[in-house]
Amino acid sequence: MSQSKEMDRFMKRLKSATKGNEEISELILDTMTVVTNVILHALSKGIGKKPLDELSRELRIEIASKICADLDETIMPIYKALDGVSDASFDVTSLARHINAISDDMEMFVKSSTNDKGVQSIETSVGRRIDDIEEDFKDAMKSMMLENQVGKA
């Protein structure tokens, strides 16, 4: 049985088992949150301790991307079903920062999909927030204007 069919079957069973029982839904959500956080914490500590010459930034970004894609495609649908939200995704930026894949002034975004044959496609974007870049640009322009004013005086 393919992974997507197994997931569909699991989701049907989960919805049926929790229908009308908020307490069971919350217990499952809490359990999933604790387990996921423990695993992610262990991974981030282990990877984050490795020096960059042993584990490159590119490989760290690839690892964070794969973790995010798998969480978004397997764990997040469960959260959505139990919590009744229409959109939820994993915050890969925090993980990427913890494993030293990106610096604190950077952000990371991941989009993923899996086709009917089970082949997963992952698109990763890393960069600075536009707001931060605009602020840096404004600061640079102010500095240049001030230097120009001082130069004329």
| Mean pLDDT within 13-36 | 88
Q: What is the mean pLDDT of the chain?
A: 84
Asked whether the predicted pLDDT for residue 147 surpasses 90, the reply is: no
Dump strand ranges (E) for the chain.
106-114, 120-128
Residues contacting residue 123 through CB under 8 Å, at least 6 positions apart: 110, 111, 112
Record the pTM: 0.74
pLDDT the model gives residue 83? 78
79: nearest Cα among 4, 13, 23, 11: 11
77-81, 98-102, 124-128: the lowest-pLDDT one:
77-81
Alpha-carbon span 50 to 84, nearest angstrom: 39
Q: Could you tell me the pLDDT band of residue 153, with boundaries at 50, 70 and 90?
A: very low
For tokens 């959109």, name the residue. 87
Alpha-carbon span 3 to 136, nearest angstrom: 46
Q: Could you tell me the pLDDT band of residue 151, with boundaries at 50, 70 and 90?
A: very low
pLDDT the model gives residue 59? 95
Alpha-carbon span 113 to 69, nearest angstrom: 8
120-128 and 106-114 as β-strands: parallel, antiparallel, unpaired? antiparallel
